[in-house]
Amino acid sequence: MLQTVQKIGPVLDLFTLERPEWGVSEVAEQIGVPRSSAHALLASLVEIGLLQCRTRGRYRIGWRVVEMNETLRGSVDVRSTAAPVLQDLVDRYGETTHLAVMERWKVLYIDKVPGNHVINVVGARVGAQLDPHCSAVGKMLLAYREPEEVRRVLGEKPLRRLTPSTITNPVALAQELASIRSAGCSFDAGEAVSEVHCVAAPVRDDMGSVVAAVSVTVPVSRFVQQRNELRKAVVGAAADISRRLSGTSVPELALVRDDLTGLPSRQSVAAG
């Protein structure tokens, strides 16, 4: 039973916007099980509504997922709480804002408000899942996980290099995460996309735990001019969301220092 449950996640992960439909043999090959086992697993997922069987034995995500999504939206406060704050950031600065959480060691973008400049950064789409080591929100969320757990998970495979500035050395990443915890904010200086910079800050729940991260994503030409102002704005926005979530006062000074000497000044301080 446990082995079957452990296979559900990898099966559902196969269904993406780029490839929304799969056959039994394709699923079996991808997850490394016999065709009969894949068919039984898919049939079980159809039975509970997570998948639907189309013509010719092809499978797609089922309508139960929509129902679960609505339940999630009704029970998870962070997205609805953050929405007006993200919009306010865009109204004030015109830059694209993101809200992200950590899901199975991937950054999951759960909300986004596009910027309104003529030259603008599109940013990650809502629902996208990306590696955490090369973005500001990802490094912020990593920084508040247990260091031993971070080292174990990120040490399982090489860190993927997306640009010349991407941090791919686990020791260097660990040092940066420590600096992020000290400073209370994180940067992405072209680590995911060379000409795009970001700054992120942590969102905390009523227990003080970091449950999400908010960021602004900016073309490098504008970011260099407004770096400190955007940092303060994002930290303030994250503190505002945290206060709304917890219903108590979360001092902004507890989340970030004006003195950023604790952050590395080299190019690998991250974006996005």
- CATH number of 133's domain: 3.30.450.40
Residue 266 lies in a domain: no
Residue 186 lies in a domain: yes
Other C-beta atoms closer than 10 Å to the C-beta of 272 total: 33
Q: How far apart are CA 269 and CA 267, in angstroms?
A: 5
Same domain, 53 and 81: no
Radius of gyration of the CA atoms of the chain, in A: 20
pLDDT of the residue at 156: 79
225-250 pLDDT, tens per residue? Answer: 899 999 999 999 999 999 998 875 44
- The candidate with the shortest Cα–Cα distance to 200, out of 183, 187, 182, is 187
Same domain, 34 and 154: no
Instruction: Report the CATH number at residue 33.
Output: 1.10.10.10
DSSP conformation class of 157: S
Label residue 3 by pLDDT band (50, 70, 90).
low
Residue 268 lies in a domain: no
One DSSP character per residue, 85-124 reads HHHHHHHHH--EEEEEEEETTEEEEEEEE---SSS----P
Q: Where a domain ends, among 67, 90, 111?
A: 67
Total domains present in the chain? 2
Same domain, 60 and 177: no
Residue 267 lies in a domain: no
84-136 pLDDT, tens per residue? Answer: 999 999 999 999 999 999 887 889 899 999 998 877 787 788 888 889 999 99
169-200 pLDDT, tens per residue? Answer: 988 999 999 999 999 999 999 999 989 999 99
The pTM is what? 0.68
Q: Which domain holds residue 174?
A: 76-254
Same domain, 156 and 244: yes
Residue 260 lies in a domain: no
How long a stretch of residues is the chain? Answer: 272
Q: Where a domain ends, among 28, 48, 67?
A: 67
